[in-house]
Every structure is written in structure tokens, then in C-alpha cells.
Chains A and B, each alone.
Chain A
Amino acid sequence: MSQPVRSLGRASAPAGARPGRPPQPPADEATALRRRAQSRRARREALFGYAMVASALLVVVVFTVVPIVASFVLALFKWDGISSPQFVGLDNFDALVGDKAVTHSLLVTSGLAVLIVFLQVALGLGLALMVAQRASKIVQNLFRAAFFLPMLASAASISIVMAYVFNDQFGVINYYLGLLHLPEVSWLSSTGGATATIVLVAVWQQLGFTFILFVAALASLPGDVLEAAQIDGASSARLFWRIKLPLISPTVLFASTVGLINTMQLFDQPYVMTKGGPGDSTYTTVLLVYQTAFQNLQFGYASAISVLLFAVLLVITAVQFTASRKWVFYS
């Protein structure tokens, strides 16, 4: 196969056309040998490549790619996980539309997520700004360690601690509110209180993440531009809104995207602190998926909710990136 093709190519090229390369008509066999050796080497390299990526690829395919597809398929079935699954077509999705628990959980989740992400980004950026321009290296590291500390604990055990701290009757927070002659708050037993507690605990634990991101982004700002603006007499507020914020806007986008995706999966805190209550005020979508699948044993319906959550996450990411073209500045 390859022999005639090559000779055709040779025939169409005028002999001696390429300068610096003397024509070698008798070396045909040598070239063929060399090429064969080369292709053998390439094949070996390729085999080596496949072997090297095999393990990671296998894990990703079996435990992420296949499950994504399987979620869509499972959502078409009614199945308790024990008896044989029953094909029901799009019935699960039909039921989804009218299911108040699902709509409610999505509203709760997105409300919590927006609050948490907004506070995380605003507080993280504010604290990073203060640290970046003012403090010495040692003080900076001290603050960094302090803000980072909660991230080292598991959200579950943090929630155990916080359930006591925010306890309505004998919690520390209400004790200090009392000392300040402020009204005590029913943190975990009222709708608003429970929402506030979940938000505060999540912001408190994740603050270190956005803080570190913004400290790094601010450290990489071009010093000469800032100096020039300062010499021109720009106020620090102007400096921030007109120069610093546009320059770190990619970091703002990154922090809010990652934050939203993470908080849309909120589970540990409501599971440990409120069990979704009081009422269903902190009943997040993942909590609903967990209970539908693993307590009510409705695997098909739970998969349909997962697919919906997955779609919502995709839409959020897409919208964020589309909208970001308007405000994110890439130098």
C-alpha cells in the first residue's frame, strides 16, 4: 500500500529540486528500513502512552463518565434497587415538574448558595485587600493561618461544634448577645435563624479559600501601574474600582464559579445541624437526593433529581461565563 504512494510522490517531484539534499535513488531500501524502525518506535511510544494513562482513565471512565450516562438512563426507570427495574419513560421527569419538594429544595439551595458565595467573595476580597497593602510578611502569614484554620476541619465536625455554639438555649452566641442586651436569636429553631446559621457556618469555613485566592491575585498586580495611578492622585476607592478590581476580575469569576458549584451541593451542614428543618427551610437538593435514594429507595426518581441538579449546575456555569465577557478583564 505505502510503496506505490511513495513512488508516486517521488515521480511528481523533479529530481534534485531540493537544494542541499543530494538525490539518493539507490537508498530506497535504506529509507524503507529507517521508516519502518521509526514507525516501530512510534508505536512503542504510543503503547507506553496508553499504558501510562490507562489507570487514571479507567477510574475516571468507570466512576464518572459511566455514572453520568447511567444517571440519565436510571432516570427513565422506576426502581427500588431490589426488584427488577420498570421502564417508565419520562414519567419521573413529569413528576419532577409538579413536585413541590423538588422546586422548594432548588430554591432553598440556590438562595443559600447565592448568599454564601456573595459573602465569601466580598469578605475574602475585603480582608485580602487589607492584608495585601498594609501588613508585613509575618503578620500576613499569621492572618493567613487564622483564616485558613477552619478549612482544615471536616464540615461535619465543624457542624457538630457550631450546633452547640448556635444552640438556642445554652449556646455561646446567645449568651454574648444577652450580655450586650441584644435579643436572643432562635438560631436553629426558626426558619430565618436556621438559614442564617447555615450561611454563617459555610462562609466561616470557606473564607480561607477566597482569601488566599485574592491575596495571590493582588500580589501579582503590576506595581508600576498602581504607583502611576497613585502619583496621578487617584483616591484609594478609585484605585480599587477602576484598576484593582478589573485586574483581578478573572479571580472573582473563578472564586464565584467554584463557590457556586460547591455550595449548590451543600449537604454536610444541613444534615448535621438542622436535618433540613425547621419545616423544610434548609432542605437542600442533595439532602433530597440522599433521602429519596437511600432512605425511600426510589433510585429512578432520585436519579431524575440528580440529572436536574446537574443541568442546573451546567446552566449556572454557562451563564456565568457568558455574562463574564461583559465584566471580566483579561490583560
Chain B
Amino acid sequence: MTAVLGKQSAPPVPRPRRRFTIGRLLSLAVLTVAAVLVVAPLVWALATSLRTPATSFDQPPQWIPTHPIWSNYQAVFDKVPLTKFFLNSTLVTGLIVLGQLITSTMSGYAFAMVRFRGNKALFGIILATMMVPIQTTIIPVFLIIRYLGLTDSRMALVLPVVGGAFGTFLMRQYFLQMPRELGEAARVDGASHFQVFARIYAPMARAPMATLAVLTFSAYWNEFFRPLIFLQSTDKFTLPLGLVTLQGTMGTGSISIVLAGVIIALIPSVLIFLAAQRYFVEGIVAGSFR
């Protein structure tokens, strides 16, 4: 925080003209090599998903497919109920994002703007759970899910995470910066507490809500651990679980079809990243300046 303030108060210092030095060229070269190495496995996956399954392991790898076999993308739908996996992932992730947006916005607003006894203590409880990884509580959560009769249901994935510490924290931080006067004026004019929230403050919180939506999406669209534990029937599988199962049945035979599935699962995340790059970055950085 202080660092950000420092930047604002600093007078604009003209930067010295950039010169082409060996150092500059060297770091540009290192960066380029690193970027190529980072992207390469995904490019390989894309290229190999377009090879004939029989030649998918042939060396050298074909980085630019000369005869792309698009039918692999059809084949993956024939091998496994990929449409079903896709819909399951969409449904589960969609409900989680929606739930998080509703509960986090409401609770974040209340913790920031509403006076009630126990405000600080309750927020403290929520904050303390932020550091608790789900892997350490998974057994009781599994038992609670079983007690609720939700084993092997998509709701088992949704319900435990429709509200959470990070979202509440993020929204509270945002509402703390909002002026109270707006709401007080509306109250004098006869608006109810809920109207003040729903009509005045919530619509202003679009940016942090988008941040929360993007981060929640990417976390749960890619989730593997909980689906593996909670789901048994194939027709309820989400994409990551479905793909790992598909890979298991294909073994080391033809991999082009499996990779086609991997690429399909990646597309929504990439599209959301391209559309909301700012919110990804904002969310990650916001989490670090505590």
C-alpha cells in the first residue's frame, strides 16, 4: 500500500533514453527463450491433437501440422461423453461463481458498512479460515456431504464453496473505501437498508465483482481433487476428472484424441483470460497487498 502511495506522490522523473546495450539484448533473448519454453508444451499439445492418432508419438514432433486431422476433435466426443463433462463443468462452476458473487458481496458490504454487534469477531472468524487448505478438512467435509445425502451429486461440489473467506475479504476491502454519505442520504429519503445496498452500492462494485468472478472461475473450472472424491458416476464428471479418466483408458496408445480433449477444456479459460486480463492481474495483486 505504502509503495503505491509512494509512486503517486513521486514527481514524474524523465527516464533516461533507452539505449541498445548488450545487457538489454541479452535480457530480451533470455525472456524470449523462457516464453518459448513456457508456451511450447501447450503448442505441442495443440499440434499433436491434430495428428493422426497412429502417428501421434512419431519423432520429430510436428510443430506445425501439415495435414491437420480435425476429426480427432469429433472422436473425443465419441469416446467419452465430453459434452456432458463440459455441461457439468459449466453448471458447477457457474453456480459457484454466482453463489460467491452473491454471498461475498452481501457479507463484504455488511462487514464494511453496517454496524452490528460482533462485526469484527465474525469477520475475524472468516478471515482465519482463509489460510486453511481444503485438503486438510476434506474428510469431515466428505462426511458432511454424505450426511446431507449429496454424495455423487454435482451439488456436493457447489455447496461447500458458495461462500468463502477470499471473496468476503476482497469485497469488504472495496466497500471500506466507499463514502458512507451516499447511503445516509438515501436513508433520509426513505430507502431501506437493503435498497441502499442493492440500488446504490452493489452496482458500483462491478470491478471487484468481476475480479472475484474471474478468479473463482479459474479456480473451480480446473478443480480435480474434490471431483475425484465426491463423484462416482461418469455422467456427473467435470472436465478435468473426465479427461484423466479418458487418459487412463487410452493408456499410451493414441494420444491425439486425449490432447484434443485437453485443448477443448482449455478454451473457456483462455477466452475469459483474454476478455478479463485486467481482473486476473488485479485480483492476484490485490491479494498480495494486505
Q: Which residues from chain A sit less than 8 Å from chain B, CB to CB?
A: 42, 44-50, 52-53, 55-68, 70-71, 74, 81, 123, 127, 130-131, 134-135, 142-158, 160-165, 167, 170, 172, 175, 204, 207, 209, 212-213, 216-217, 219-224, 227, 236, 247, 251, 254-255, 261-262, 264-265, 267-268, 271-272, 286, 289-290, 293-294, 299, 302-303, 306-307, 309-310, 313, 317, 330-331
List the A residue with the shortest CB-CB distance to B283. Answer: A212
Q: Tell whether, in the assembled complex, residue B103 and residue A161 are in contact, meaning their CB atoms are under 8 Å apart.
A: no
A-B contact pairs, 22 of them (CB 8 A): A52-B110, A55-B102, A55-B163, A56-B104, A56-B167, A57-B107, A63-B141, A66-B144, A67-B144, A68-B137, A74-B139, A81-B143, A134-B18, A134-B27, A135-B28, A151-B218, A154-B265, A156-B224, A212-B285, A271-B228, A302-B139, A331-B3
A50 B116 Cβ-Cβ under 8 A = yes
- Whether A60 and B164, one on each chain, are in contact in the complex, defined by CB atoms closer than 8 angstroms, is yes
Scan residues 4-54 of chain B and give those whose CB is less than 8 A from a CB of chain A. 4, 6-7, 10-11, 13, 15, 18, 23-24, 27-28, 30-31, 34-35, 38-39, 41-42, 44-45, 48
A227 near B266: Cβ-Cβ < 8 Å: no
In the complex, what distance in Å separates the CA atom of A293 from the CA atom of B139?
A: 7
Q: Are A152 and B114 in contact (CB under 8 A)?
A: no
Contact call A134/B24, Cβ cutoff below 8 A: yes
- Which of under 10, 10 to 19, 20 to 34, or 35 or more describes the interface residues of B? 35 or more
Query: Does any Cβ of A come within 8 Å of B75's Cβ?
Result: no
Q: Chain B residue with minimal CB distance to A63? A: B160
Does any Cβ of A come within 8 Å of B126's Cβ? yes
Q: B221: CB under 8 A from chain A?
A: yes
B212 interface residue (CB < 8 Å to A): no
Nearest neighbor of A167 in chain B, beta-carbon distance: B252
Q: Which of A42, A56, A309 contacts B136 (CB 8 A)?
A: A309
Q: Is the beta-carbon distance between A68 and B132 smaller than 8 angstroms? A: yes
Q: A52-B110, A55-B102 are in contact. Are A64 and B262 (CB under 8 A)?
A: no
Q: In the complex, which residues of chain B have a beta carbon less than 8 angstroms from the beta carbon of A217?
A: 3, 288
* With A49-B119, A135-B31, A153-B262: A160-B244 Cβ-Cβ less than 8 Å: yes
Point out the residues of chain A lying under 8 angstroms from B279, CB to CB.
none
Min distance, Cβ A310 to any Cβ of chain B, angstroms: 4
CB distance from A305 to the nearest CB of B (A): 9
A293 to B143 Cα, complex, angstroms: 11
Residues on B with beta carbons closer than 8 Å to the beta carbon of A262: 133
Of B55-63, B65-73, B76-84, the one touching chain A? B55-63
CB-defined contacts of B161 to chain A, threshold 8 Å: 59, 63
Could you tell me the distance between the alpha carbons of A261 and B117 in the complex, rounded to whole angstroms? 33
Contacts A57-B122, A212-B284 given: A224-B224 contact, CB under 8 Å? Answer: no
A106 to chain B, nearest CB (A): 13
B138 on the interface (CB 8 Å rule)? yes
Is the pair A48, B280 in contact by a Cβ cutoff of 8 Å?
no
User: By the criterion CB–CB under 8 Å, are B138 and A42 in contact?
Assistant: no
Say which residue of B15, B117, B163, B273 sits within 8 Å of A148 (CB atoms): B273
> How many angstroms from the CA of A19 to the CA of B2 in the assembled complex?
42
B231 at the interface (CB under 8 A from A): no
Known A67-B144, A170-B59; contact A224-B139, beta-carbon cutoff 8 A:
no
Given contacts A52-B109, A53-B111, A149-B42, contact A172 B265 (CB under 8 A): no
Q: Which single member of B117, B126, B140 contacts A70 (CB below 8 Å)?
A: B140
B233 at the interface (CB under 8 A from A): no
Instruction: Give the Cβ gap from B82 to chain A, nearest Cβ, in Å.
Output: 13
A62 near B144 (CB under 8 angstroms)? yes
Establish whether residues B31 and A131, one from each chain, have CB atoms under 8 Å apart when the complex forms: yes
CA–CA, A210 to B261, complex, Å? 28
Q: For the complex, is B180 an interface residue (Cβ under 8 Å from A)?
A: no
Q: Most A CB atoms within 10 A — which of B35, B57, B139, B162?
A: B139
Are the CB atoms of B31 and A265 closer together than 8 Å?
no
Whether the Cβ atoms of A56 and B126 lie closer than 8 Å is yes
Q: Specify which of B13, B15, B38, B140 is in contact with A150 (CB 8 Å cutoff).
A: B38
Q: Min CB distance, B281 to chain A, in Å?
A: 6
Option from A58, A149, A154 in Cβ contact (under 8 Å) with B222: A154
- Report, nearest first, the 9 A-B pairs whose CB atoms are least far apart: A154-B222, A49-B116, A59-B163, A52-B110, A67-B140, A67-B137, A56-B163, A56-B107, A70-B140
Of the candidates A53, A81, A207, the one whose C-beta lies within 8 Å of that of B38 is A207
